[in-house]
Copies of this chain bind each other. A is one copy, B any other.
Amino acid sequence: MKSLLVLAHGSRRGQSNDEVRQFVQAVREKSNGRYGTVVCAFLELTKPLISEGIDQCVKDGTDEIIILPYFLAAGRHVVEDIPAEVARKRAQYPGVTMQVREHIGVADALVDLVMAMADNTL
């Protein structure tokens, strides 16, 4: 079974974290069964942390986790913290494949999206 783990930064503001959870709920609905579970986790400031998110996927019976960094730029969280944490979890769960995708900031589509939001034409 394949899982999708969407990884966000986490905020001191509860509503911001809820916004991410609702976003991931929309991704879950859209995924239309392609993933057995779609969960979110955070780097800091709120739960579940990335380690706990991966534990949850494993507990749900996954053997492959697609990890998507929901970050606009590759700061230290993306370049250092996420790979380090995933390396630890790979060692813990050698039978589970974990693939880390690029952060969403690399997507060309964001240029059009920003343009449309600036122009109020979305």
Contacts and interface: CB of A to CB of B under 8 A. Distances in A.
Interface string A86-122: 0000000000000001101101111111110111101
A1 interface: no
A8 B118 contact: no
Contacts of A84: none
A114 B6 contact: yes
Given A26-B111, A111-B23, A122-B107, A16 B117 contact: no
B115 A30 contact: yes
Interface in A42-91: 66, 68, 70-76, 78-79
A119 B31 CA distance: 10
Interface residues of A, number: 48
A16 B107 contact: no
Contacts of A109: 109, 113, 122
Contacts of A19: 73-74, 105
Interface of A: 4, 6, 8-9, 11-13, 15-17, 19-20, 23, 26-27, 30-31, 34-35, 66, 68, 70-76, 78-79, 101-102, 104-105, 107-115, 117-120, 122
